[in-house]
Amino acid sequence: MWTPAILSLLAATAFAQYGSNSTLGPDADGKYEIKADGIRGLFIPYGASISNLFIKGKDGVERDIVLGFDNATAYEGEVHPHLGGVPGRYANRIKNSSFVIDGVKYNVLPNENNNNDTLHGGPNGWDYRNFTIVSHTTDSITFSIVDPDGEQGFPGEVISYVTYTMTPNTWKIKIVAMATTKKTPIMLTSHTYWNLDGFANPETPLALNHTFHLPYSGQRVGVDGILIPDGTILPNEKYSVNDFWSAPKKIGTNFTAPELEGNCGTNCTGYDNCYLVNRAQNGPYDWRNTGPVASLSSDWSGIKVDIYSDQEAFQMYSCGGQKGDLPIKSTQGVQGRPAFVQQYGCVVMEVQDWIDAINQPEWQREKKHIFGPNSPTYTLEADYVFSTSK
Ligand SMILES: *[C@@H]1O[C@H](CO)[C@@H](O)[C@H](O)[C@H]1NC(C)=O
Ligand SMILES: *[C@@H]1O[C@H](CO)[C@@H](O)[C@H](O)[C@H]1NC(C)=O
Ligand SMILES: *[C@@H]1O[C@H](CO)[C@@H](O)[C@H](O)[C@H]1NC(C)=O
Ligand SMILES: *[C@@H]1O[C@H](CO)[C@@H](O)[C@H](O)[C@H]1NC(C)=O
Ligand SMILES: *[C@@H]1O[C@H](CO)[C@@H](O)[C@H](O)[C@H]1NC(C)=O
Ligand SMILES: *[C@@H]1O[C@H](CO)[C@@H](O)[C@H](O)[C@H]1NC(C)=O
Ligand SMILES: *[C@@H]1O[C@H](CO)[C@@H](O)[C@H](O)[C@H]1NC(C)=O
Ligand SMILES: *[C@@H]1O[C@H](CO)[C@@H](O)[C@H](O)[C@H]1NC(C)=O
């Protein structure tokens, strides 16, 4: 479907566009800006990551509501919490770092839990690499990556384009990926950490007071103690700690409930769960106008984000692993408080498919996880729509 000729035409078109505006280079911190009315974002080639997102709060002050580092260089230090990038070629965890395609077993490089599994594509996953900028205009930027055959143990070459576009009050993401030579697993996402107060709420540096809603998510993927799916699909019963569907609820509402202990893995209290998005029950749907799959808001800043997506699962992590050593940016925080992310200081939200479906064949999601030269292109789309209460 994607012949080399089409691909080089794509790239040439993109480069021509970039060339026509050479003033749109990186700023002094190595970041690239795109903007529209009410929204401004900064991006870096490392991981095709978002590093800053500015939205005005109800007090009229612009808040930087995503986690990141102050400059592009800092992303390549020892600490790598996957801040705002595109993990690939297979996001989340791969059980036992292996999978089978057409009867052939493949082993990929492990990098988590004493090498029991592979997280976010391995020790040199996509968000450890520099993408190439193929297009940059005032309101849009496109990154690309060529992931070679055999890299991290994955079969076949994958070529991917990640496009971020700003329209009024909206951040749009479109990701395509082509498996050009062999059948291989592909699952991607945007791994962005949020604090809708920009850490500037004088009452709390935490995100536990953010209100979260998952209107389509009455079920979630069952996992073991290291968050590897065990094949089960669990009910998020009404009023249980994982019920974010029957009504919006603050992230911290159920933090004293015993059921929340271990909910994000052994010895972890909070959330790091893959919720299913069940929309087909209402008949054929167009993801752009069936309402958001998730919403997050903060009363203090007044900022709300509604997330629309074509993906059929949604991961939410309540940052239980933060321990006060990850710095916030100079654009964030309040004077007199430690400029570091505290435990539960953020919320990670990921639009994606059912995690590790390559190792759960009975889920019958192969067409959404295994791609080859003769299959349709992998695509992911999401719109993050912002509004501010009065
Ligand atoms: C980038 O940020 C890091 C961490 O804040 C800082 O140590 C470093 O000096 C900065 N580098 C540049 C080139 O500004
Ligand atoms: C995990 O993978 C290794 C290496 O391929 C294999 O020897 C072992 O049997 C696998 N374990 C399980 C539980 O599947
Ligand atoms: C991982 O694998 C090692 C050795 O195979 C084992 O001892 C350990 O219990 C496993 N689990 C975790 C969570 O590290
Ligand atoms: C990414 O690009 C920067 C800037 O050119 C460079 O310093 C860095 O070494 C590159 N990192 C990788 C992993 O290629
Ligand atoms: C290039 O920049 C100019 C001035 O900022 C702008 O008017 C024009 O639309 C840009 N061109 C492209 C292709 O983005
Ligand atoms: C949490 O939000 C409520 C309003 O919904 C507010 O009264 C309370 O002060 C907030 N708590 C913190 C710690 O910000
Ligand atoms: C979780 O919080 C909701 C809202 O306050 C409450 O109705 C529900 O009983 C709580 N669930 C548990 C298990 O504590
Ligand atoms: C969980 O916590 C208990 C008590 O602190 C400890 O003994 C145990 O080793 C911990 N388990 C893991 C997997 O971290």
How far apart (Å, rounded) are the C-alpha atoms in residues 194 and 208?
12
Q: Beta 184-185 vs 219-223: how paired, if at all? A: unpaired
**Is 191 designated active site?**
yes
Are 205 and 342 in contact by the 8 Å Cβ rule? The answer is yes
How many other CB atoms are there within 10 angstroms of residue 233's CB atom? 13
Are 107 and 74 in contact by the 8 Å Cβ rule? The answer is no
Ligand 4 contact via 31 beta carbon (within 6 Å): no
pLDDT per residue of the chain (390 residues) written in tens, 0 to 9: 555 555 555 554 544 444 454 568 899 999 999 999 999 999 999 999 999 999 999 999 999 999 999 999 999 988 899 999 999 999 999 999 999 999 999 999 999 999 999 999 999 999 999 999 999 999 999 999 999 999 999 999 999 999 999 999 999 999 999 999 999 999 999 999 999 999 999 999 999 999 999 999 999 999 999 999 999 999 999 999 999 999 999 999 999 999 999 999 999 999 999 999 999 887 899 999 999 999 999 999 999 999 999 999 999 999 999 999 999 999 999 999 999 999 999 999 999 999 999 999 999 999 999 999 999 999 999 999 999 998
Ligand 8 contact via 114 beta carbon (within 6 Å): no
Distance of CA 128 to the CA centre of its chain: 15
Rounded to a whole number of angstroms, the CA Rg of the chain reads 20
Distance of CA 368 to the CA centre of its chain: 17
How far apart (Å, rounded) are the C-alpha atoms in residues 129 and 80?
12
Q: Supply the pTM of this predicted model.
A: 0.93
How far apart (Å, rounded) are the C-alpha atoms in residues 344 and 251?
9
**Is 362 designated active site?**
no
Ligand 8 contact via 379 beta carbon (within 6 Å): no
Cα(256) to ligand 8 centroid in Å equals 19
Pocket of ligand 2, beta carbon within 6 A: 96, 98, 107
First to last CA, the chain: 49
